[in-house]
Amino acid sequence: MKSAPDPVPLPLDHLAERGRENDPALVLKHETLNHEELRHRVARLASWLVSEVPERGARVATWAAKGELTCLMPLAAARAGLVHVPINPLLKHAQVAHILADSGAVMLIGTKARLATLEDGNVPEGCRVLEEQEALDAVAAHDGSLGPSEADTDDLAAILYTSGSTGRPKGVMLSHANMWLGAVSVAHYLGMESDDVTLGVLPLSFDYGQNQLLSTWYAGGSVVPLDYLFPRDVMKACAKHGVTTLAAVPPLWVQLTELEWSDDATQTMRRLTNSGGALTVDLVRDLRGIFPDARLFPMYGLTEAFRSTFLDPKLVDSHPTSMGNAIPFAEILVINDAGDVAAPGEEGELVHCGPLVAHGYWQDAEPTAQRFRPAPTASTYGGTAVWSGDRVKREADGLLYFVGRRDAMIKSAGNRISPQEVEEAALATGFVAEAVALGIPDERVGHAVHLVVRAEPGAQDAEVQLPKLLSKELPNFMNPQEIHWREAMPLNPNGKIDRTALLKELSQ
């Protein structure tokens, strides 16, 4: 994939048509589908959906573990002219009830055990509920087949709900074009090929996780979906399936680097990708040691625009803290507080322009107006842009660096403190495996710095040594007022550290 990626989007379901018919496409627990079988099953599932839900644009939700249903539904629903609403299987009944009501879903297909947790009033009137196996049996008995669609690529294809740590997740509206171009972009800059094998460990309700399917199929490769119980399950799957592509978020990378990896689990690995939080210098070093031949791609994204930047693997060692540059089809501007393009080294807000920008929040006009605003006049694309709220800076060499979220900056005794800077200082001591810095309301200073950490396995005397080292490395106003030690960090349904839960706990 050395030539420039094609910027012309197609209907999302055309991704099923990309691979060579006899090459593997989807490795399920009890069978492997080649690309011809993938096409056949997408066509049959889409035909069944049309027979059950004839209204174009209707929302169909899935709430199940990774398997045939959840992997095929993004393409089949798009081919049927429906809007797929994938629900993270880790969510509980109250969050599921909100998503169903908010999206207006007319059908929910889920595993029997999950559906059994729903209470009276959780399922809105008019929403039909089907057990996953019941639906799969009905599809298998269906004799219809629906060919590739001619959908308008601006039509909605999916609504992805944010993780919902606050209890009120928002639905991000994604079009066929958003998702198609996201697949093309990632497959291009990762250099994916038809013999690639992607291990899908991330939730398919997460844009990062779902794109693992779409970008791999765009390249004609194969996906191995995995719901793992323990990090060791990931390592075993890499060895069993000859995995070439592994994507994760920092908390999972930390756990994976604590394992003793066998040669057969690493020898086929070509690339590692990271998003959902920054990699630390130590984590990069550890990943290099385990996967010496794999290219490492640090990435930055947000569901409202899918993905914004990636760092060229050749620059990871020399610029380990950089976000890199814009991915194909994304235009990234840094806008200062005066509304102008920031000068090199000047802090500003990251603004994402271009065709990857989502269509706003589903039936949520006020938040949409706040986040999705007209692009800056300097934009080449124009139109609507996502104003991320993330503070970044672009250095003279063009590389971007994350500073912090505007709403996450800690304001203490008149000082603006970046949580990331405190966290990096803690990780650099070698006594800490994970760290989260938070601003807790304080009558005296406005917000006091609190640091939540998990000790590095085997670290000796960490609780005594960490505060001493931080006091040497950080100015007084940045030093944590209190350090909270945890055996494990709380994670949100997408596998990221749940900062909202920690903030709520410590603020009580």
* Residue 166, pLDDT score: 38
Please give the Cα distance from 371 to 357 (Å, whole number).
11
**SS3 for 400?**
strand
Please give the Cα distance from 56 to 39 (Å, whole number).
21
Query: CA dist 413 to 128, 260, 378, 483, Å?
Result: 55, 45, 36, 19
pLDDT digits (tens, 9 = 90+) for 147-204: 999 999 999 999 999 854 334 679 999 999 999 999 999 999 999 999 999 999 999 9
Q: CA torsion sign, 397 to 400 to 406 to 410?
A: negative
Pairing of strands 222-225, 197-200: parallel
Beta carbons within 10 angstroms of residue 399's beta carbon: 18
> Is the separation of the CB atoms in 208 and 197 below 8 Å?
no
- Is it the case that residue 354 has pLDDT exceeding 50? yes
pLDDT digits (tens, 9 = 90+) for 51-67: 999 999 999 999 999 99
Q: What residues pair up with 300 in beta bridges, in sequence order?
A: 309
The closest alpha carbon to 352, from 323, 324, 368, 372, belongs to 372
pLDDT digits (tens, 9 = 90+) for 6-27: 999 999 999 999 999 999 999 9
Please give the Cα distance from 180 to 356 (Å, whole number).
9
Phi, psi of 220 (to 5 degrees): 85, 15
Beta carbons within 10 angstroms of residue 266's beta carbon: 18
- Is it the case that residue 463 has pLDDT exceeding 90? yes
- Is it the case that residue 82 has pLDDT exceeding 80? yes
Identify each DSSP E strand in 395-467 by its residue range: 400-405, 410-412, 415-417, 432-442, 446-455
* Residue 164, pLDDT score: 43
Beta carbons within 10 angstroms of residue 468's beta carbon: 10
Question: What letter represents residue 458's amino acid?
Answer: G
* Residue 494, pLDDT score: 82
Write out the DSSP string of 58-126.
-EEEEE--SSHHHHHHHHHHHHTT-EEEE--TT--HHHHHHHHHHHT-SEEEE-HHHHTT--TTSS-TT
> Is the separation of the CB atoms in 68 and 204 below 8 Å?
no
Q: What is the CA radius of gyration of the chain?
A: 23
Which residues contact residue 373 at a Cβ distance below 8 angstroms, ignoring those fewer than 6 apart? 384, 385, 387
Q: What residues pair up with 322 in beta bridges, in sequence order?
A: 401
Domains of the chain, earliest start first = 14-179 (3.40.50.980), 319-354+367-405 (2.30.38.10), 410-507 (3.30.300.30)
pLDDT digits (tens, 9 = 90+) for 304-352: 999 999 999 999 999 988 999 999 999 999 999 999 999 999 999 999 9
pLDDT digits (tens, 9 = 90+) for 257-312: 999 999 999 999 999 999 987 888 889 999 999 999 999 999 999 999 999 999 99
Q: If you average pLDDT over residues 362-388, what whole number do you get?
A: 96
> Is the separation of the CB atoms in 500 and 165 below 8 Å?
yes
> Is the separation of the CB atoms in 400 and 332 below 8 Å?
yes
